[in-house]
Structure 1
């Protein structure tokens, strides 16, 4: 083997090693953990940049697990929370993409991640502006949030988002009941940071609902 052939084989071997090292997308627990770190530990431009980087990884993971509803859901969650961090009309394309991902996940497996696609879709419908700006709909929000609760009646997220919707609807007593149920939800193994951050959000929302109910 001459010098050129040796160099070529060495280059191809190195490229193969690099591809092997980088071709495996991030797995679901890593996506979940990284999302919680970004959502609850970072703010401002740093948070936006971190979400953008995580979105790239989430899209690659979803492509690698094309028929797995779990990865569709998590890319949708990351896109929607990124949209919330960015805000304004520029976020609309992200929430539209998230809605599509949740709908696709429901078609694949409506019960995936304890019905998280229903809950996440419902949360979009009450947080996004209505026509002509966006696709928001209180009717659809209630429908999907209740479907999420039907799948996971004791879940922290299912009850939190339903409570938050009821709070916006000024149904304060019902919101209080939903928040209290969310606080009583069992811990999720491996989701400790997310649970801690969510419970802080729930306590703030519960306090507001109690003030409004007086």
Structure 2
């Protein structure tokens, strides 16, 4: 009986330890992404994104069934694409798409539906056929799904507001941008929140000029 209890306790401790390690890895990736995306520019930013992508890929390789790892590999690749620009960006965008689709296969609700929001953003940012896979209708479906899962999130509302702005739907865009600005802060992601709110305010300014 003692052996059974000991075995159960050991298993519980190992599970708790692995969960703590996974959470630590997630927070580290999130913090470093924010620093690279918001505080670096030009070659320094591109180099840092490439390094961070390699680390995220190692995380995916170590935990292939971890949806959070695939989501963050996709986010890093997609923002790296924006930093690189040009012909190289499309290849990175396709890699990001594959990572986010894999995350959806594993757990569509992971990180409050972040895979839907990030994939939807890719679909409206990337050029359409014959140059890329961009598709505004698919983008809207994915972004709405992200909002279903996380209706009060800053990112889900911001990305949909930005999409609506690109579609010239300014009144609707303003509604979602204001909801993004009203989102609860994320204490574990202060830099990302600060800079995202600045992006939301800039979007609201652009919307108001159109109204």
Q: CA offset at residue 156 of structure 1?
A: 0.3
Partner of 1:131: 129
User: Aligned ranges for residues 68-147 of structure 1 at < 5 Å?
Assistant: 68-147=66-145
Partner of 1:184: 182
- Partner residue of 1:203 out of 177, 191, 201: 201
**Structure 2 unmatched runs, 5+:** 1-20
Per mean C-alpha deviation after superposition, the further-off stretch among 26-35 and 68-77 is 26-35
Q: CA offset at residue 90 of structure 1?
A: 1.2
Q: CA offset at residue 65 of structure 1?
A: 1.4
**Structure 1 unmatched runs, 5+:** 1-23
Q: CA offset at residue 88 of structure 1?
A: 1.3
Query: Normalising to structure 2: TM-score of the pair?
Result: 0.88
1:63 is aligned to 2:61: yes
Q: Distance in 2 between the 1:49 and 1:152 partners?
A: 32
- Partner residue of 1:160 out of 158, 161, 179: 158
The number of residue pairs the alignment matches comes to: 190
Q: CA offset at residue 192 of structure 1?
A: 0.7
Query: Normalising to structure 1: TM-score of the pair?
Result: 0.87
- Partner residue of 2:173 out of 165, 172, 175: 175
Q: CA offset at residue 61 of structure 1?
A: 1.0
Partner of 1:37: 35
RMSD across aligned positions (CA): 1.3
| Greater radius of gyration (CA) | 1
Partner of 2:44: 46
1:20-53 Cα shifts (integer Å, max 9, x gaps)? xxxx998111100000001111111111111011
1:81-117 Cα shifts (integer Å, max 9, x gaps)? 0000001121111110111111111111000000000
